[in-house]
Structure 1
Amino acid sequence: MNTINFIQPTAAVASVPPPPPPSSSSLPLRPFSHSPSPPPLKPSLNPHPSLSLSLSSPSSVPKLKTQIQFQSLPSPQPLLKSNPPNDRHQTHKFFHHLIHLLRLSARHGDRELARAVHASILKLQEDTHLGNALISAYLKLGLVSDAHLVFLSLSCPNVVSFTTLVSGFSKAGREEEAVELFFRMRNSGIMPNEYSFVAILTACIRVLELDLGLQVHALVVKLGYLDYVFVSNALMGLYGKCCCLDYVLKLFHQLPERDSASLNTVMSSLAKEFMYDEAFELFRELQQTEGFGVDHFTVSTLLTACSGSNAFREGKEVHAHAIKIGLEANLSVSNALIRFYAVCGSVNGVNALFARMPVKDVITWTEMITAYMKFGLVDLAIKMFDNMPEQNSVSHNAVLAGFCRNGEGLGALDLFTKMLKEGMEMTDFTLTSVVNACALLRDCKTSEQIHGFIIKFDFGSNACIEAALLDMYTRCGRMTDAKKLFHRWPAEQDSSVLLTSMIGGYSRNGQLDEAISLFHHHQSEGRMVMDEVSSTSLLGLCGTLGIYELGKQIHCHALKCGFLTDLGVGNATISMYTKCWNMEDGVKLFNTMPTHDIVSWNGLLAGYLLHRQGDEALAVWSNMEKTGIKPDQITFILIISAYRHTTSNLVDACRSLFLSMKTVYDIEPTSEHFASFVGVLGYWGLLDEAEETISKMPFEPEFIVWRALLDSCRIQTNTTIGKRVVKRILAMEPKDPSAYILVSNLYSASGRWHCSEMVREDMRKKGFRKHPSQSWIVHNKIHPFYARDKSHPQAKDIYSGLEILILECIKAGYVPDTSFVLHEVEEHQKKDFLYYHSAKLAATYGLLTTKPGKPIRVVKNILLCGDCHAFLKYMSIVTRRAIYVRDASGFHCISSGQCSCKDYW
């Protein structure tokens, strides 16, 4: 992206000029108090049926006690045809003085002055222009109902009267009345002017009423007002809000004259459609050719584009220019800057901006909460929330979403309960977040209560909420309920989101065949809409399952439809290839992508880690630093872990990087970072330093940190430290299924069966369940296997072949490792348990069905156990076949009795 060149701002051009001031030409005057109200008129055009239009019945204008004494002017006399010219002149001067006082009242927010002037006006004969001035003053003072009553008292309202009140209704959230009034004006034979069209389009924009806006557009063309730049700006604003970008661009390019508001509207529409590069390009082009200035709206839009396209250098240029022209203190610009630096990952930048802001609103505080949650600084976000001078539903929703983002399901539920007690507004976003919180907790009982709440208050029939519910069911293992919800969705409504969620749910619960069958079934019926979202989700599924051929087909479809310009699709494709044993294609796709974001780089790093290529991952990290893209927390988890897989001991470099996270990169280390660092120290044999690192952590170590040290003790066969770690883990309160399983297994390994069973019972009560170890192989379709599983159609052949393989491997030196099998099981039963593990069954099926010379590819949903690892190494010797296994730690490329993991995983 090129450098942004700024032109000094010219005089600001208003997007919607105010109506012209009423003239002082004299018309026959009639007393306001005696003028009859005209009967309501029916509109000449039918508005969109979704709008229920109504007009309040007229009522008399209240007589106010307050009077103003105008000592400098004589009291006007009733105007008759015989009035001398001098009297008429004095009356006009008096009218001008009243209008001046109304303007003063609006400027200074003085409602009493406006009412006093109104009281004096009631003594005069009716003048439409004076009435219009009174309507305008009341509207500016927020007295919409008073303005409406004045309008109803006018016997001959003109186009200014109607336009002023239509605009007032539109801005006051009374859009239906604005539309009704506009139709009444049309029915009365008054032709709208350019300001009338801006007023009615404002109402259309606020309620996203596209159909009515199209009718107004047609009338604009018919009456010849399309060349008025502010009318076209309003039309573009409507189309931009309604996601009709083609209409916006067509109008913009057809305008004979454009102003800064035109440019801002188009740039905003492009940014809304994530076309950030196009927004920058248009800005540069028009700035050079037409010399538009930069206002606060331009700066805010450019910052949004910089945030969305990760153009951090350009964003800092925009910030510098905003400071230069004095716009940094502008509230909307400051809020956009906070959002920008949050995306950049700069905690210090965000804090400095917030501290410098002279004025803050609820959006500012909410942006700070969102930023802290994004950085993982949950405590700071909550402190910011508690210190807010004013909280609303949006700020509460930001905290809810932040809790979910950081895995704090209980915190989200507590806040939701508080919102209910305080009677706060529940939006779709609120409910989606609380459902996601239940999904995080995997608590079946709570999930049932939340679903009951949603049904009771009739929040159903919303695709986003239904998809979140379905995802919650699948994460809680309630697949039966998930199926019911999925099949209950009306066939005539778009079910793409639910379908994608259901496919992911099947995959998550190990029902791999169901996931792929559901995809193929709906695709064959034409009900699977392959857009960017579904393509991204399905590519992720193919990567998880290791289905290379299907993933490649989806890649071709995305390429044909132009979806690869979408960063999400491109990133998912990279991940798919790296997980399907094809690092080369993943790297090739990364290098051909026009733009990258932090997810792209993290995906490439994760791919190299899966393949245990630490040196290559560090080379990517070096290139990433040169691009100026700000690393995030995930980046550092990956980079630190890469030092486990380097060809030489680089612990010193890893230690230096870990210590520089806060000082250089402004990122606070979390439990995940400490766990990665401890894993590196343990891998290279520095167990004492690893244990000391944990003891010096600035916060209480979580389960994953102790688990990393325990794994290191296993790799280094250090029982002394291992026993201390086991005691630590057993003293902790498990918070997720994997922690429960580890604690239960540790109790079992020490012979404390009663304690082990108590842990598993507690796990069952909380709705947690252990996903059984599963391995699968893809051969035309997915063939899943569980331990001692005989459900496969070729189970007889598989078991016969495995028994032969076991005997051959034993002859070659394989010795079954029964040390971790439950103690109360007899020795011959232990061996029987080991012989038929899922990985062995899957590898045997692969040997029977894969062409000679081709590698056998197996995917496993958890870590490969030591006995299976040893067996597969001997299997590669006796069969002379390469065996590739992808487990939770990465790839094991086993050939001729050797594994790429070097027996450390």
Structure 2
Amino acid sequence: MTRSHVIPNEYTYVAVLTACTRTFHFQLGRQLHAAALKTAHFESPFVANSLIALYANHASFRVALKLFHQTPNKDTASWNTLISSALHHSLYDTAFGLFRQMQTTDAFSVDDFTLSILFSASASLVEGQQVHAHAVKLGFETCLNVGNGLVGFYTKYGSIAEVESLFQGMRVRDVITWTEMVTAYMEFGLVDLALKLFVRMVEEGLELTDFSLTSAVDASGLLGDYKVCKQVHGFAVKFGFGSNACVEVALLDMYTRCGRMVDAEKMFLRWELEEFSSVAWTSMICGYARNGQPEEAISLFHVGRSGGKLIMDEVTAATMLGLCGTVGHLDMGKQIHCHVVKCGLGCNLEVGNAVVSMYFKCGSVDDAMRTFNDMPCTNVVTWNTLISGNLMHRQGDRALEIWMEMQEEGIKPDQVTFVLVISAYRQTDSNLVDDCRSLFNSMRSVYQIEPTSEHYASFISVLGHWGLLQEALETINKMPFKPSALIWRSLLEGCRLHKNAMIEKWAAQNILSLEPKDPSTFILVSNLYSASGRWDRSEMVRESMREKGFRKHPVQSWIISQKKIHTFYPRDRSHTQEKDIYRGLEILIMECLKVGYEPDTSFVLHEVEEHHKKTFLFHHSAKLAATYGILMTKPGKPVRLVKNILLCGDCHEFLKYASIVTKRDIFLRDSSGFHCFYNGQCSCKDCW
């Protein structure tokens, strides 16, 4: 067009800028920005809004905000674009702040699109209800956009009765409305009603789009019911969407969410649409990651990148960073971080949060804090990540300092924040239970956040940790809802720590009644019987577990060595270097015994002879992984391990002595956080 000497107008700029935003052509977008300034097209609010959207998606929010302030002719759409930008960066408080600024500017009025954005930005029931009231006041409640936003909001924070009432009361509905309602039924677990409504959509002649069908497929994936997923897949094929790229990617993702990786792999292998292949590769990587197959995810990532099939966007980057954090792969996490910065994703808030989380989980606190300090903008998720990261490293006092800094910065806490901050009082150097009580009681009155089961569980855990078991019981009895198994497990922790067998038994019985089909419940009760010497009862529980076909979640420990994940199970002999590992472990055990290590066989079945008990203990997965790490790392270098469940007491003692014998720092992350073993001591102070 330009070579033909046809002068572009504002509509041309809008079209090409929109294309740049959608196809990640940020540099071309910046060139168009310069051209728009030169030709005065920037004075058009349409062009300016398209540029704000470009920078909001591919730069930091601060850049988009700066451009907004430079815009000479703002309109309502300009404000909506900026509020959407804040939402894109998960800056929910900022979005509401802009909304308030917009209201105080006489030249601009709120429209239905503004309100629909704010429903997505609402982080609590109270906040969304305020937006709802504002919509009623302005007469927008009957608008289609607002109605659809309300259905989505009450699906997240309300009840199915409220959602149904809204749906029935809407005078005008479109395919988005119906899709939101199908999703709502799925979210509330009402599968039959969701499918009936979906059939009704078809019967009433609503035109099914790839968006509506994709939403139904996504909802089925979230539900995780394989039978429902197969039905939805069959429906998609029957109505001619079987070869639609968007629907196929959604179907692939759906199968990964319900754990059917074989079906997902079949779909992935027959993928042919080159232009959508990157999305399929990302979905497959996410599927491996969420189904506990990190090695497959990492391998596919490398193949996709080397073959040019996989584009590194924010979803892929955040997924891979999360995976590196989960498995403790620090070197690969650093490489992805460098690539993120290089390809311009460093300003993306979600990716930035993933980087901070990755460094914490890999044990690199300094890198985590350095990344946080370099972030151009933060949100409540960022600060929650800082608090949880310090808790992972058992730095409760530092976590509380961050909580104070968060308030000074004016960051509004959410429900997750309070779960974390309450938990921090378990890790403080001094007893601050009074402060914890004050915080817990202020949630409702000061912050308008209703305490949930998770908040009560955290509070009970704090009381139990400091030995206030009677107060913990009284708190449970006064709860406004029935205690969950999580709450009883929190009480159980305190009972174990302070040796209160009576309350411990009561808590265990409640867990068993609430989660009778959970294998971990059977293991818990069996171990309680074993600890009290009631071996016959312990074996009866395990026999009942076997009869019901319940299997214990496999215990595994792993270590990253030579850029590979080396996984070990109890008594594992599958490793190629198993002879060296077992011989090395024998020597290490003998040396640890010489300096005071005493194997704890209290939880091994009583009918097994003592030397067999010790053999069983000596071949636990953490000991095998630690031995391999010691053999494969240079003398004096630290050994870094990960275990998928709580570290047992005997392995904990063994690693303390191993740190003396080998003169090594041994870092192990289990489900409770980090253990740093140094010269016979552990950072957890023997309380985990």
Matches within 5 A, 1:182-581: 222=6, 232-243=9-20, 246=29, 249=33, 252-253=36-37, 255-256=39-40, 258-264=43-49, 266-267=51-52, 271=56, 276-287=61-72, 292=73, 295-309=75-89, 310=91, 312=93, 315-316=96-97, 318-323=99-104, 325=106, 330-342=111-123, 346-347=127-128, 349-360=130-141, 361-374=143-156, 376-378=157-159, 382=163, 385=166, 388-390=169-171, 391-398=173-180, 408=187, 410-411=189-190, 413-424=191-202, 427-433=209-215, 435-436=217-218, 439-440=221-222, 442-462=224-244, 465-490=247-272, 492-581=274-363
- Amino acid of the residue matched to residue 637 of structure 2? K
Matches within 5 A, 1:146-185: none
Contact residue 882 and residue 894 of structure 1 kept, 8 A: yes
TM-score, normalised to structure 2's length?
0.86
Query: What does residue 410 of structure 2 align with?
Result: 628
Q: How has the CA–CA distance of structure 1 residues 592 and 333 changed in structure 2, closer, same or farther, with 3 Å as cutoff?
A: closer
Report the count of equivalent residues: 665
C-alpha distance in 2 between matches for 1:427 and 1:755: 52
C-alpha distance in 1 between matches for 2:645 and 2:381: 24
C-alpha distance in 2 between matches for 1:834 and 1:441: 40
Query: What does residue 165 of structure 1 align with?
Result: none
- Amino acid of the residue matched to residue 349 of structure 1? Q
- Cα-to-partner distance string for 1:587-624 (whole Å, 9 max, x where unaligned): 01110111112222222222111111111111112122
Q: How has the CA–CA distance of structure 1 residues 762 and 855 changed in structure 2, closer, same or farther, with 3 Å as cutoff?
A: same
TM-score, normalised to structure 1's length?
0.67
Query: What does residue 814 of structure 1 align with?
Result: 597
SS in structure 1 of the partner of residue 308 of structure 2: coil
Contact residue 342 and residue 371 of structure 1 kept, 8 A: no
Contact residue 319 and residue 328 of structure 1 kept, 8 A: no
C-alpha distance in 1 between matches for 2:476 and 2:185: 25
Query: What does residue 880 of structure 1 align with?
Result: 663
C-alpha distance in 1 between matches for 2:435 and 2:129: 25
C-alpha distance in 2 between matches for 1:883 and 1:620: 27
The partner residue of 1:741 within 520, 537, 549 is 520
- Amino acid of the residue matched to residue 490 of structure 1? E
C-alpha distance in 2 between matches for 1:476 and 1:582: 33
- Cα-to-partner distance string for 1:753-811 (whole Å, 9 max, x where unaligned): 666566667676xxxx7541111111102111011110001101111222233333334
**Cα drift, residue 583 of structure 1:** 0.2
- Amino acid of the residue matched to residue 699 of structure 1? F
C-alpha distance in 2 between matches for 1:505 and 1:415: 28
- Cα-to-partner distance string for 1:127-147 (whole Å, 9 max, x where unaligned): xxxxxxxxxxxxxxxxxxxxx
Structure 1 stretches lacking a partner, 5+ long: 1-213, 227-231
The partner residue of 2:452 within 660, 670, 681 is 670
- Cα-to-partner distance string for 1:517-543 (whole Å, 9 max, x where unaligned): 333333333334333332222222111
C-alpha distance in 1 between matches for 2:404 and 2:554: 40
**Cα drift, residue 420 of structure 1:** 2.7
Contact residue 160 and residue 185 of structure 2 kept, 8 A: no
Query: What does residue 180 of structure 1 align with?
Result: none
SS in structure 2 of the partner of residue 410 of structure 1: coil
C-alpha distance in 1 between matches for 2:586 and 2:230: 46
C-alpha distance in 1 between matches for 2:193 and 2:606: 46
- Amino acid of the residue matched to residue 359 of structure 1? F
Matches within 5 A, 1:45-194: none
Contact residue 335 and residue 363 of structure 1 kept, 8 A: yes
Query: What does residue 556 of structure 2 align with?
Result: 774
C-alpha distance in 1 between matches for 2:253 and 2:603: 35
Q: How has the CA–CA distance of structure 1 residues 825 and 487 changed in structure 2, closer, same or farther, with 3 Å as cutoff?
A: farther
- Amino acid of the residue matched to residue 410 of structure 1? G
The partner residue of 2:628 within 821, 826, 845 is 845
The partner residue of 1:707 within 482, 485, 489 is 489
C-alpha distance in 1 between matches for 2:15 and 2:124: 29
SS in structure 2 of the partner of residue 877 of structure 1: helix
- Amino acid of the residue matched to residue 358 of structure 1? G
The partner residue of 1:724 within 486, 496, 506 is 506
**Cα drift, residue 435 of structure 1:** 4.7
C-alpha distance in 1 between matches for 2:327 and 2:56: 35
- Amino acid of the residue matched to residue 659 of structure 2? S
**Cα drift, residue 414 of structure 1:** 4.1
**Cα drift, residue 632 of structure 1:** 1.9
- Cα-to-partner distance string for 1:613-652 (whole Å, 9 max, x where unaligned): 1111111121221222222222222222222112212222
C-alpha distance in 1 between matches for 2:361 and 2:260: 28
Contact residue 394 and residue 673 of structure 2 kept, 8 A: yes
Structure 2 stretches lacking a partner, 5+ long: 530-536
**Cα drift, residue 678 of structure 1:** 1.7
Larger radius of gyration: 1
- Amino acid of the residue matched to residue 454 of structure 2? E
Query: What does residue 53 of structure 1 align with?
Result: none
Q: How has the CA–CA distance of structure 1 residues 269 and 520 changed in structure 2, closer, same or farther, with 3 Å as cutoff?
A: closer
**Cα drift, residue 266 of structure 1:** 4.5
Query: What does residue 101 of structure 1 align with?
Result: none
Query: What does residue 533 of structure 2 align with?
Result: none
SS in structure 2 of the partner of residue 777 of structure 1: strand
The partner residue of 1:616 within 395, 398, 402 is 398
Q: How has the CA–CA distance of structure 1 residues 876 and 727 changed in structure 2, closer, same or farther, with 3 Å as cutoff?
A: same
- Amino acid of the residue matched to residue 836 of structure 1? H
SS in structure 1 of the partner of residue 674 of structure 2: strand
